[in-house]
């Protein structure tokens, strides 16, 4: 028996070199609860200094562990970000540069955790266009999914649960925890749809935010002076691009079907409010407030459900054994630069919240090293004591979670956005961000923008716009150095421009999926969780 146990320990040490060889037994492996949201601006969490809302449960998570102050994404839209989350790879390596389907036959982190002895599950928004692989249980929204009475896909078909999607997703998370097998650690990806566009909050938070007034960002009326390459023609502005549907304006009662949809998708340039006709700057201000009320009410629903799941960890006695990580799939503009949405590499679109607490994580730390979403998959594997494959391009942040300061940590982050032509008329670009500067290259139009983030944190002054300024030795030297750095990062990550031309984008849609699955009808949360189990 003893010999057998020594053999098991030796095997475990051989398989999991991250474990301490001096330990008498393999360390108990932590559960990993990964909470993910869609489009949650870093500056819409109070632990990040939000001026517009309060998120007590996310703050509680941050206070109990680590809050990363320089956490970024590598391609700021939903589907590519989700493929990067799974693979630890840039879009050009994982085959998902735009809204094309992920090949579930590829190697990814959930498959590795499952093979490594974890009970794996994914709940909520998936948006990868193919059925999940590598999960013992999965119950995911088709495409974007619906806020109210959502349909979910499960291994045997599709089912519907009555209620609000954010609360249901939280309830499914609780049901997963209660019904988990007790003989192995779990890895749960709990993915909220909120606060994605559509912004349909639950009733309690809709009421709480109705009529609230929020401070405007300094750049709400940005004129894009010094930045003519892409911003003036973008179609994600508060002023011009929010639809009547986004603004929750009520269609005339006589409209139905196509006419009603057309009315809702129009972008109004004058609106009647309380008997007054609003236009111009006054209308922009009204649109901003109306958008923020619903967006932040959706964020509040997320925060409520983070609290619900953290409470369940406490009730189940799991808090000490479970690493909880919170982040989102891309940044978001809260009227900053006059925008909503994401995509652009300016700070609000590039930054994401990243919080973590749990065994081994130092309490109350704020690591400032630049980290990115390519690091998540390696981090999950490292925390589970599993090796990180060479094919993953990120690096485990576990040392940062312990409060260490690795001397060889990266100094710059590489970014590339492809979806052009695409939604919101956002020009394709790549770029590099260092602790002090940012270089953006709109490669299709041959334009560069350069910012000094120390003196110009809202990126209003492109140092390359004025030719005389661009020629000054200081600016010229920084520009040359960052162009070199951009090329170095492209080489390091093996970006061979394979998706630069839209003709090369891989096929497969991520929206409108699941229509051909057998309909299983209306289910309770418990019934739905039972239906999420994969065969074998």
Where along the sequence are the contacts to Ca ion (CB under 5 A)? 38-39, 78, 329-330
| Min separation Cβ 16 and Ca ion, Å | 34
Q: Are 348 and 336 in contact (CB under 8 A)?
A: yes
| Min separation Cβ 38 and Ca ion, Å | 4
Exposed e or buried b for every residue in 425-447, given b needs 16+ CB within 10 A? ebbbbbbbbbeebbbbbbbeeeb
Nearest CA-CA partner of 72 in 353, 389, 429, 322: 353
Enter the tokens of residue 398.
């576990």
Q: Positive or negative, the Cα torsion across 12, 13, 18, 21?
A: positive
| Distance separating alpha carbons of residues 247 and 241, to the nearest angstrom | 11
Q: Are 47 and 62 in contact (CB under 8 A)?
A: yes
Q: Looking at beta carbons only, is 137 or 342 nearer to Ca ion?
A: 342
CB within 8 A of 16, min separation 6: which ones? 26, 385, 386, 387
Q: Looking at beta carbons only, is 93 or 196 nearer to Ca ion?
A: 196
Q: Looking at beta carbons only, is 39 or 171 nearer to Ca ion?
A: 39
Q: Are 534 and 135 in contact (CB under 8 A)?
A: yes
Q: Looking at beta carbons only, is 38 or 222 nearer to Ca ion?
A: 38
| Min separation Cβ 351 and Ca ion, Å | 14
Q: Are strands 322-328 and 157-160 parallel, antiparallel or unpaired?
A: unpaired
Q: Looking at beta carbons only, is 342 or 437 nearer to Ca ion?
A: 342
| Min separation Cβ 80 and Ca ion, Å | 10
Nearest CA-CA partner of 255 in 265, 243, 246, 247: 265
| Min separation Cβ 344 and Ca ion, Å | 14
Q: Looking at beta carbons only, is 352 or 486 nearer to Ca ion?
A: 352
Q: Are 37 and 302 in contact (CB under 8 A)?
A: yes
Enter the tokens of residue 318.
């799991």
Q: Looking at beta carbons only, is 100 or 396 nearer to Ca ion?
A: 100
Q: Looking at beta carbons only, is 38 or 347 nearer to Ca ion?
A: 38
| Distance separating alpha carbons of residues 396 and 88, to the nearest angstrom | 10
| Min separation Cβ 101 and Ca ion, Å | 17
| Min separation Cβ 335 and Ca ion, Å | 18
| Min separation Cβ 271 and Ca ion, Å | 27
- Residue with smallest beta-carbon separation from Ca ion: 78
């Amino acid at each position: 028996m003893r010999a057998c146990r020594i053999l098991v320990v030796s095997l475990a040490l051989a398989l999991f070199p991250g474990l301490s060889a001096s330990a008498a037994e393999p360390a108990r492996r932590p559960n990993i609860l990964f909470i993910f949201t869609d489009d949650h601006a870093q500056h819409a969490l109070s632990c990040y200094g939000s001026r517009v809302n309060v998120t007590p449960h996310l703050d509680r998570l941050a206070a109990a562990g680590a809050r990363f102050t320089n956490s970024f994404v590598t391609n700021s839209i939903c589907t590519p970000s989700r493929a990067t989350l799974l693979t630890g790879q840039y879009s050009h390596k994982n085959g998902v540069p735009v809204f094309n389907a992920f090949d579930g036959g590829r190697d990814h982190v959930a498959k590795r955790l499952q093979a490594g002895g974890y009970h794996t599950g994914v709940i909520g928004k998936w948006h990868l266009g193919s059925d999940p692989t590598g999960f013992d249980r999965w119950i995911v929204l088709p495409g974007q999914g619906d806020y109210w009475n959502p349909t979910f896909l499960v291994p045997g078909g599709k089912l519907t649960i009555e209620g609000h999607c954010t609360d249901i997703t939280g309830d499914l998370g609780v049901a997963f925890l209660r019904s988990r097998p007790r003989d192995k650690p779990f890895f749960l990806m709990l993915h909220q749809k909120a606060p994605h566009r559509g912004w349909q909050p639950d009733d309690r938070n809709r009421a709480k935010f109705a009529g609230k007034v929020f401070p405007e960002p300094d750049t709400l009326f940005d004129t894009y002076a010094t930045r003519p390459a892409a911003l003036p023609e973008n179609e994600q502005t508060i002023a011009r691009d929010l639809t009547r549907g986004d603004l929750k304006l009520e269609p005339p009662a006589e409209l139905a079907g196509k006419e009603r949809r057309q009315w809702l998708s129009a972008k109004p340039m004058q609106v009647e409010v309380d008997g007054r006709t609003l236009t111009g700057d006054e209308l922009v201000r009204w649109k901003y407030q109306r958008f923020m009320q619903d967006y932040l009410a959706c964020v509040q629903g997320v925060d409520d459900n983070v609290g619900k799941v953290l409470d369940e960890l406490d009730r189940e006695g799991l808090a000490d054994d479970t690493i909880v990580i919170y982040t989102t799939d891309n940044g978001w503009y809260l009227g900053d630069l006059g925008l909503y949405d994401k995509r652009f590499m300016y700070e609000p679109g590039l930054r994401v919240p990243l919080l973590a607490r749990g065994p081994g994580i130092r309490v109350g730390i704020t690591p400032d090293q630049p980290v990115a979403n390519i690091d998540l998959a390696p981090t999950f594997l490292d925390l589970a004591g599993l090796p990180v494959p060479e094919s993953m391009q990120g690096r485990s942040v576990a040392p940062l979670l312990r409060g260490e300061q690795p001397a060889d940590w990266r100094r710059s982050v590489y970014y590339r956005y492809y979806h052009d032509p695409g939604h919101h008329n956002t020009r394709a670009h790549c770029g590099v961000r260092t602790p002090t500067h940012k270089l953006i290259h709109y490669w299709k139009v041959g334009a560069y923008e350069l910012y000094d983030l120390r003196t110009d944190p809202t990126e209003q002054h492109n140092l390359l716009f004025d030719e005389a300024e661009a020629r000054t030795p200081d600016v010229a030297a920084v520009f040359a150095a960052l162009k070199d750095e951009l090329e170095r990062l492209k080489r390091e990550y093996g970006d061979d421009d394979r998706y630069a031309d839209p003709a090369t984008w891989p096929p497969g849609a991520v929206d409108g999926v699941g229509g051909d699955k057998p309909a299983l009808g209306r289910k309770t949360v418990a019934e739905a969780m039972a239906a999420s189990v994969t065969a074998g």
